[in-house]
Chains A and B, each alone.
Chain A
Amino acid sequence: MPLKKAFTTTIDNVSILDEHGSFDAKLGAPGGKPIIPDDDLVKLYEHMCLCRKYDEVAFKLQRSGRMGTYPENRGQEATSLGAAYALNGDDWLVPCYRENAGLFWRGLPLEFVLLHWMGDERGNAIPEGMCITPLAIPIGTQMLHATGLAWASKYRNEKRLACTFFGDGATSEGDFHEAANFAANLDIPVIFFCQNNGWAISVPTKIQCSAPTIAQRGIAYGMDSIQCDGNDIFAVVYCMKEAAKRARENNRPTFIEAVTYRLGDHTTADDARRYRDAKEVEKWNNRDPMIRLRNYLVQRKLWDDAKQEAAVARAKEAVTAAVKRAEEIASPKTADIFNSMYAELPDDLVIQRETMMTHSLGQHPEELPPTSTQQRTHQQA
C-alpha cells in the first residue's frame, strides 16, 4: 500500500507594509478600503511616539533609583497596539509585561504601569470596565486565565473574546499547551498572540522551538494559526481582524505569531550586549516598526517633521505628568500588608495585623487598642 498523507499544512506569513516601504494594497486596502483608516493610522503612530518616550523615561527612572525594575518595550510597539486597536473595548486584554502600547491604547492611565514597576500592587488594580488583567510575571500562567475569561464570556453569551499576549519562550511552558488544547477542544473564543521577539532573556528562540515557526504549535492543537511581521501594524491588524471574526462567529481560537524583536534588554536587570550580536540588533533597528510607519505616513503626506516635533513634545508632557502622578501616590501603610487577602479578613489575620509590630505573632503590646482577641492574647502573655 502506498503511504497516504494523514495531514499536511502550511503556515501563512502576512506582511503588508514592509521595512522597505512597499505596501500590499490587496491585503492592506481590499477594494480600495484601507484596513486602518488614515485618521486612525496617524493616531496609532502618535501613540507609538508616546510609548517610545514612556520607555525612555521609565528606563531613566530605574537607572536613577526611582523604579525597581523595568522591561523596555522598544521595538515591539506595533504588536500589542495593533491587537488592541483591532478589538472591541470590552474584549479582554490579558498581557504579560511588554504590552504597554496596547494597554495604553485601551485607556489604562500611564501611571499604572509605572506604579507597578515602582513596586506597588495598586498599579495592577486596573480601573473597572477596562477589561485588562494584571501584568503576569510568571510566564504563561495568564494564557489559562484568558482561556477562562473567554470561556466565561461564552458561558454568558456575551460575544466577547480574550486576547492573551506572551513571548516565544512562554510557548515552552505547559500552561500554553494546556490552554491551547482547551481552547481548541472546547471552542473557546480566545486569541493566542505570541510576540516572538527572538529572545527569552538570553535564550534564543531556536532553543524554545526547533520547528521552523512557532505558529505551527497552534496547528498541533487544531486551531487556525498564522504568522505575521510583528513590526508591521497593518499585518498585525489584518491577522487580529480575522482572528476576532473567527472567535466571535464560531467561538474558535487562533494562534498568531508576530515576529518582532526586543530592541532593548530583557529588563533593566539584564545586559543583552553580553549575549547578542550587535549586527543582529542593527538589522532589527532598521526594521523598527516606527520608522516604516513614519515613512509611510510622510509619503502619504499625513505626517511631517513639524508634526513629529509636536508629537514628541506632547508625549514628553504626558509622560512627565504620569511620572508625577505615580510618584505622588503615597506609599502603602505597613498595616496595608493585609489588604485584599480575602474578601473578608479572617480572625487569625486580624490578630496578625494587630500584632505585626511586636516581636512575636499574637503578642499584644499594651498600647494597642482593645479588641475581641485581646483577652486571649493577654492571658497568654
Chain B
Amino acid sequence: MTTTTREIEFRDALRDAMSEEMRRDKRVFLMGEEVAEYNGAYKVSKGMLDEFGPKRIIDTPISETGFAGLGIGAAMMDLRPIIEFMSWSFSLVAADQILNNAPKMLYMSGGQFGCPIVFRGNDGAGGQLGSTHSWCVEGLFSSVPGVKIAIPFDPYDAKGLLKTAIRDDDPVFFLESERLLSTKGSVPEEDYTVPFGKALIRRAGTDCTIVSFGRPLYFCLEAAEELAAEGIDCEVIDGRTIRPLDIDTIIESVKKTNYCVVVDQSWPFASVASEIAAQVHQYCFDDLDNHVHRVNSDDVPTPYAYALEQAYLPNTRKVCEAVRAVTYNA
C-alpha cells in the first residue's frame, strides 16, 4: 500500500494540524495576537479566519497574560484552546499563568479541573532579534512539573505532534523555530499523529550518540555527514518531546555507541542537556567510555550583532568538535 504524500512548508503543516483538528472538534479554537485578520505574524494561521470565522479565530489585545489566562479558564470548561504566542520570548510576561496556573490546575483542584490547552509559538533565536526576543524557553520551562513540551523538527513532525498536542488532555508547550517555518518536507495526505515521548532515530550509527531537539538537529545531521567522512559513524536522535522524555531510546543507543553528545540550543546551566546528561550518566554509567559532552548556547544573553549571535549558537562545527572530543579515546 502506498501512501500519498505532498510537499509542504513547516508553517503549512502547523496550519493544517490546527485546521484539521478544528474541523474534527468544535471545542478547538485559536487565539492570539494578529492570528485572524492578519493571518498571523508569521502567516501560520493564513486563511483560518475565512474558514472558521471570528468566533474561533480570535484576535486579541497585546496581552499575553490576558489570553493565556482566558485560555486556561476556557480549558477548565473543556474547550480546547490553542494559544499563539507570537514568540515564546513574550510568554515571560504571562509566566504566572502558564507556569504557576496551567500546569498546576489539575493537581491543585484535587483532579477536578483539567487544563487541555496548547501554547504555541516561535522559540529560539530568529536571527538578530536581540536578546529579549530570542529566548529558548525550554531550558527554563522544562523544570516545571505538569507541562508537556514538544519541539518539532520537520513538517511531518510539526503536523503530527501538534495534532497530538491539541488532542492531549494536559497543557502542552509547543515550541516552533522561526528559522524552520519555510523549510519543506513531505506529509501524508491522510490523518496521522506523532505520539509524545517517542524519540526518532534520524540517522543510525554505531560510534557516538547525538541527542537534540528541533532546529539544532540540522547541525547534528550535517555534522554526522562530516564526521562519517572521518570514520566516526554517529547516531542522531531527535527527542521530539522534552516532557515526556524518551530516555529509553537514548539509553539503548548509548549502550551501543558508548559515547554521547547532547546538543541543546538553550543555556548550559541547569539545561535540557544537563538533565539528559545526568540521566545518561545514571543509566549508562558502566557503558560510557567518556563523560557526556554538551553543546549549548554560550552562557550569555543572545547577542544582537550578527557575528556574535552566530558564534553564540550551537552550530555544525561545535557539534563536530564535541563528537571528536568525546570519542578521542575510541
Contacts and interface: CB of A to CB of B under 8 A. Distances in A.
A134 B72 CA distance: 13
Q: Which size class do A's interface residues fall under?
A: 35 or more
| B69, B79, B169: residue with the most chain A Cβ atoms closer than 10 Å | B69
B146 to A, nearest CB: 6
A376 interface: yes
B74 interface: yes
Given A122-B110, A148-B72, A149-B77, A178 B63 contact: yes
A141 B100 CA distance: 9
B254 to A, nearest CB: 12
Given A133-B76, A141-B97, A347-B197, A148 B283 contact: no
A302 interface: no
B106 A148 contact: no
B63 A181 contact: yes
Given A149-B77, A182-B61, A343-B169, A380 B285 contact: yes
Nearest to A155: B79
Nearest to B245: A348
Interface string B276-312: 0001001111000000000000000000000000000
A346 B197 contact: yes
Contacts of B76: 133, 145, 148-149, 152
Contacts of B112: 124-126, 128, 134
| B65, B68, B197, B243: residue with the most chain A Cβ atoms closer than 10 Å | B65
B221 to A, nearest CB: 27
B70 interface: yes
A153 B145 CA distance: 29
A182 B97 CA distance: 15
A155 B55 contact: yes
Given A138-B101, A141-B101, 14 more contacts: A122-B110, A123-B110, A126-B112, A133-B113, A147-B70, A149-B76, A151-B70, A178-B61, A181-B61, A186-B58, A340-B111, A342-B106, A342-B169, A346-B197
B60 interface: yes
Contacts, number: 148
Nearest to A188: B70
A182 B109 contact: no
Interface in A165-186: 174-175, 178-179, 181-182, 185-186
Interface string B69-107: 111111111010000000000000000110011000011
Interface in A65-81: none
A125 B111 contact: yes
A377 B146 CA distance: 24
16 contacts: A121-B109, A121-B110, A124-B109, A124-B110, A125-B109, A126-B109, A134-B109, A144-B69, A144-B97, A148-B73, A149-B77, A181-B61, A344-B169, A347-B248, A362-B279, A376-B251
A150 to B, nearest CB: 8
Contact of B66 (A124, A179, A341, A380): A179
A339 interface: yes
Contacts of A174: 65
B22 interface: no
B96 A138 contact: yes
Contacts of A185: 61
A263 interface: no
B176 interface: no
A145 B110 contact: no
Interface in A115-167: 121-126, 128, 133-134, 138, 141, 143-153, 155-156, 162
Contacts of B109: 121, 124-126, 133-134, 340
A153 B78 CA distance: 11
Contacts of A181: 61, 63, 66
Dominant SS at the A interface? helix
B69 A340 contact: no
Nearest to A174: B65
B55 A182 contact: no
A153 B101 contact: no
A151 B76 CA distance: 11
A138 B100 contact: yes
Nearest to A154: B55
B29 interface: yes
Nearest to B278: A361
A181 B146 CA distance: 29
A147 B256 CA distance: 53
Interface string A213-250: 00000000000000000000000000000000000000
Given A149-B74, A346-B197, A182 B67 contact: yes
Contact of B69 (A175, A339, A362): A175
Contacts of A122: 110
A148 B61 contact: no
Interface in B222-277: 243-245, 247-248, 251
B73 A147 contact: yes
Nearest to B93: A174
A340 B106 contact: yes
B314 interface: no
Given A149-B76, A151-B73, A175-B96, A144 B107 contact: no
Contacts of A153: 77
A155 B29 contact: yes
Interface in B169-207: 169-170, 197
Contacts of B71: 148
